[in-house]
Structure 1
Amino acid sequence: MKTILVPTDFSDTANHALKVAAQLSKKHNCKLVLLHMLEIAKHLLPDNMIASNDVQPVHSTHSNDLPEALFYMKLAQKRFEEVRELPFMEGVEYEEAVQNHLDFKGVITSANKFNTDLIVMGSHGTSGLEEIFVGSNTEKIVRHSNIPVLVIKEEMASNFSLDNVVFASDFTEEAVEPFINACQLFETLGSKVKLVYVNTPGDYFSNSTEMRDRVKTFLNATQKQNLIEDVSFVSDYTVEKGVINFANQNNVDAIAVATHGRTGISHFFSGSISEDIANHAIKPVITFRINS
């Protein structure tokens, strides 16, 4: 892993994500790109930003910039200077960039431009796995990014790592490619991967033979047959509750899931999430997109 992109609005939530990214950067010797989205009306933009609609270095001001554009650029520079003083940024190699997109497309464009291996971003969501991705640019980035997205919900410990992760799946064919991509990233990070299949009452209920046959077929397709001993079968009232309980009981560092481009997190995680589950959904979540 060489490059991590961190979108930031300089809020506490964004800094929680930045702290995690900084820790990963130090551990794996990779560079960070800190991306700030400006809030400048198009008619106030410098000509070079209008023409390219591209990412700019944070210090790329020009003599002919309008006062309003200069104000926002100078403000961004000031906020980046404050970031440099954060204790956890000491010793971190990073680059600062700005873009004027006010939506998720700017983040994805920037991630591709910098050949990013991972996007790390904060989320204000506080009500369960599904709610992490609802009604925000985070949701849209998760839906549309072909690059893995690590979503951080709260401030993590200073020794945070991705040493132990759980990949939660329904082990269907569409999850094969995301799991292969997940394994490639986790091998780079030196992560130990567990897998969990949550059996629930109702339409998606499977007996023991059906579950094991599905998992064996899945692992054969991914050429990861050696992971069969790392698959756990659990039963719970909802998939979300089963995944969260498993993650907490096994003290994993993050929950990995596959996501759909058209509907966000896959139907595997659809359905209502009760308030008690919400209180436990604090683990970081890393997403891998299912290509339609």
Structure 2
Amino acid sequence: MKKILVPTDFSEQATIALRAATNIARKSGAEIILLHIIDLPQETMDMIKPGYDLPEIMFFKEHAEAKLTQTSLSEELNGLNVSQILKLGRTFNEVTDVAKANNIDLIVMGSHGASGFKELFIGSNTEKVIRTSEIPVLAIKGTETEVSFNKVVFANDFTEETAEGFQKIIDFLKVNGAQPHFLMVNTPNNFKPTHIAEQLAHDFLKQYNLDDYEFSIYNDLDIEKGILNFAERVDADLIAMGTHGRKGFARLLNGSISEDLMNHSPRSIITFKL
């Protein structure tokens, strides 16, 4: 992992997300790129012409630049390689565009913000960032000042179409010294007998040379409830999941299920494109 993008609105929740990114950067040696977006209405964006800046926008830009510099010089970032980017535009589009342009390996966001920027983290914009990003997205939930990921629940269906994204999750877990707890959720519409589910998971996991992990099968009415209830049972620090297409477990992020999981989970969530 070489580059971590941290969108910030300078709120308390964004500060907690930055602290999580800082922990990961110290373990991996990654650079942190701070991103602030002045989220302007489309009609205002249409008024901006090359070489001409509206006085009001210049005021917000100068204020944001000062805040970004102050944040990048904070004591907890000492010893890390930190850079900053300021953008004008529509929030979720700018996050994914900046991530692609800068070869970002991980996007770390707070789950709630302040002012207009909060819309990045809740409702449809969160889903848009996750669904359009080819890059892993870590959404930090809660208000704990110390963010750690010792116990990670990774729900999967253990099919070959998830193999590429699965390796990304394994790499993330190793960097953070996390204990993986792999989960298969059995639902009435997609039920597997225990012996078949266990064999499927065993055959899938053995190709990754994992030294220490746990595996569980959990029965529930749907995938979302199964993940939330199981994560509560084992007191997980983080929920990991894959996103891709409309088959198998990837259905999780289609329709209202993904939005419900992001909004209902009290735990941080990391998503990987499969």
Q: Whole-Å Cα distance in 1 between the matches of residues 179 and 12 of structure 2? A: 30
Q: Secondary structure at the match of 1:162?
A: coil
Contact persistence 1:45–1:69 (CA under 8 A)? no
Equivalent positions of 1:46-195 (< 5 A) are 47=50, 65-84=53-72, 88-124=76-112, 135-158=123-146, 160-195=147-182
Shift of 1:214: 2.7
1:159-193, CA deviations, whole angstroms, 9 ceiling, x for partnerless residues? x2234322111223332222122113323333332
Where does residue 35 of structure 2 map in the other structure? 35
Q: Whole-Å Cα distance in 2 between the matches of residues 262 and 133 of structure 1? A: 23
Structure 1 residues 26 and 10: CA distance shift in structure 2, 3 A: same
Alignment-mate amino acid for residue 212 of structure 1: E
Alignment-mate amino acid for residue 5 of structure 1: L
Percent of pairs with identical residues: 37
Contact persistence 2:156–2:182 (CA under 8 A)? yes
Q: Secondary structure at the match of 1:97?
A: strand
- Structure 1 unaligned regions, length at least 5: 49-63, 126-131
Do structure 1's residue 235 and structure 2's residue 189 form an aligned pair?
no
Contact persistence 2:155–2:182 (CA under 8 A)? yes
Alignment-mate amino acid for residue 141 of structure 2: K
**Structure holding more helix per residue:** 2
Shift of 1:138: 1.9
Q: Whole-Å Cα distance in 2 between the matches of residues 237 and 147 of structure 1? A: 30
Where does residue 282 of structure 1 map in the other structure? 266
Contact persistence 2:153–2:182 (CA under 8 A)? yes
Do structure 1's residue 245 and structure 2's residue 229 form an aligned pair?
yes
Alignment-mate amino acid for residue 162 of structure 1: F
- Structure 2 unaligned regions, length at least 5: 114-119
1:220-264, CA deviations, whole angstroms, 9 ceiling, x for partnerless residues? 6xx22657963212233443333233333434321110113679x
Q: Whole-Å Cα distance in 2 between the matches of residues 288 and 6 of structure 1? A: 17
Structure 1 residues 88 and 23: CA distance shift in structure 2, 3 A: same
Contact persistence 1:216–1:225 (CA under 8 A)? no
Where does residue 53 of structure 1 map in the other structure? none
Alpha-carbon RMSD? 3.4
TM-score by length of 2: 0.79
Alignment-mate amino acid for residue 244 of structure 1: L
Contact persistence 1:253–1:284 (CA under 8 A)? yes
Where does residue 117 of structure 2 map in the other structure? none
Q: Whole-Å Cα distance in 2 between the matches of residues 5 and 229 of structure 1? A: 29
Q: Whole-Å Cα distance in 1 between the matches of residues 27 and 203 of structure 2? A: 35
Where does residue 186 of structure 2 map in the other structure? 199
Shift of 1:196: 0.9
TM-score by length of 1: 0.74
Q: Secondary structure at the match of 1:233?
A: strand
